[in-house]
Chains A and B, each alone.
Chain A
Amino acid sequence: MLRNNKKFLHFIMKNKSIKMKQFLILLVLGLSITGCKNKLQVIDEFGDNKYNLIDQNSKQVVFPDFVKGKVVIMNYIFTNCPDICPINTNNMRLIQERLKKEKITNVELISLSFDPKNDTPDILTKFAMVRNLDLNNWEFLTGNKVVTDAIINNAGVIAVISDSTIFRDGRKIYYYIHTDRISLIDTEGRIRKNYLGSKINIDEIVNDLKTL
């Protein structure tokens, strides 16, 4: 990249007929072409916010502090979802398997529930266990609804209650219309790219991850 920039500057200096204004425009263009290649822009950031959550083991964590210094792959789920969230979660599993295969470490996977009233740590544990998920570098997070809403709002994820099922005993469960998303978050807690969670290209995600 540095060599390209030097070549570019050399070309500019040799062409003395180029005026200063043109020089600056070309300089900016040249630097953007050579310097910003493959750089993922910051889309959203959790910044200095501290979100108090609990994981599947009922352990308290402060997001994003507890994963700072690690790249994070994060999805947004509710466990009563029978179709999209399980597809999305299975895709997280496939990403995790690829990372293991390529021996890429320093990555944490997070599944955040936006339905914390139902998704208790116990429910999240069962959700993971029945799928044989490897929780060594994968946290399922829940907490206060105000907190989980704040995180998904920050991430640009929408989750609104739609249909429901009422059981014979009067119990009621809700289903959400929600954003189908997996986010790539850098070591500073900044969202660098979002993917359609139920239809991912693992090569794309792993390649993006390598640029961070």
Chain B
Amino acid sequence: MKSNLLFIFFIICKIVNAQSEIVIKEAWARPAAKHANSALYFSIHNNGEIPDTLISANSKSADITEVHETFKRENNQMGMHALKFIAIPSKSVIKLKPGEFHIMLIDLKKDLKLGDFIKATIQFKNSGALKIKAIVKDSGE
């Protein structure tokens, strides 16, 4: 009985430990006017042994928040589409960055000006909800 309890405790510790292995860094968003759209970018560091999945995001700064990917077709034509998830393999870094994965902030509730900060919650299948704070800036590319 005692050993069973110890085993369960060990498993719970492993799960909790695994859940804390996702770290979000370098979050930023593009400036945009109220009622317009913006994009949120960051890097996801999965330091754990267990793969995870980004399944959704939400922010009080926007009416709708969607996971998106920009794609390229022939002749430098660019488009984007919504994604149901982004896979985060174990021991990996997945970057949401301009021209690739991003969180689309649709119908902003206020102007996002350079230097402002916005808050968002990023939902992972295993790690649950992670809160982030992103600075509004323009990239240097």
**Taking beta carbons and an 8 Å cutoff, which residues of A are in contact with B?**
79-84, 86-87, 90-91, 93-94, 123, 126-127, 129-132, 158, 162-163, 165, 167, 173, 175-181, 196, 198-199
Partner of A83, one of B66, B98, B113: B98
Chain A residues with CB under 8 A of B46: none
Chain B residues with CB under 8 A of A79: 36
CB distance from A184 to the nearest CB of B (A): 15
Count of B interface residues, CB-CB < 8 Å: 39
CB-nearest residue of chain A to B64 = A165
New contact pairs (5) apart from A83-B70, A87-B99, A163-B81, CB-CB < 8 Å: A79-B36, A82-B32, A86-B39, A167-B107, A176-B79
CB-nearest residue of chain A to B72 = A180
List which B4-53 residues lie within 8 A (CB) of chain A. 30-34, 36-39
CB distance from A81 to the nearest CB of B (A): 8
Given known A83-B99, A93-B138, A132-B114, contact A177–B79 (CB-CB < 8 A): yes
**Interface contact B76-A179, CB-CB below 8 Å:** yes
**Interface contact B73-A82, CB-CB below 8 Å:** no
Given known A163-B82, A167-B63, A167-B107, contact A130–B33 (CB-CB < 8 A): yes
Bound CA–CA A177/B71 (angstroms): 9
Bound CA–CA A79/B107 (angstroms): 12
**Interface contact A90-B141, CB-CB below 8 Å:** yes
**Interface contact B114-A127, CB-CB below 8 Å:** no
CB distance from B50 to the nearest CB of A (A): 30
**Taking beta carbons and an 8 Å cutoff, which residues of B are in contact with A?**
30-34, 36-39, 63-64, 66, 68, 70, 72-73, 75-82, 98-99, 102, 104-107, 111-114, 138-141
- Tally the A-B contacts, defined by beta carbons under 8 Å: 103
What would be 10 A-B contacts, judged by CB atoms less than 8 Å apart? A84-B99, A87-B141, A127-B33, A127-B36, A130-B36, A130-B111, A165-B106, A178-B79, A179-B76, A198-B98
Bound CA–CA A82/B32 (angstroms): 9
Given known A167-B63, A177-B77, contact A86–B30 (CB-CB < 8 A): yes
**Interface contact B36-A80, CB-CB below 8 Å:** yes
Q: Name the 10 nearest CB pairs between A and B, nearest first.
A: A177-B79, A126-B33, A82-B39, A82-B37, A180-B78, A84-B78, A130-B33, A130-B31, A90-B138, A83-B70
Bound CA–CA A126/B77 (angstroms): 26
Bound CA–CA A173/B140 (angstroms): 29
Bound CA–CA A127/B113 (angstroms): 11
Chain B residues with CB under 8 A of A90: 138-139, 141
Bound CA–CA A92/B59 (angstroms): 29
Given known A83-B98, A86-B30, contact A131–B138 (CB-CB < 8 A): yes
Given known A86-B30, A126-B36, contact A179–B75 (CB-CB < 8 A): yes
Bound CA–CA A99/B128 (angstroms): 48
Bound CA–CA A81/B37 (angstroms): 7
Bound CA–CA A173/B63 (angstroms): 13
**Interface contact B98-A123, CB-CB below 8 Å:** no
**Interface contact A163-B77, CB-CB below 8 Å:** no
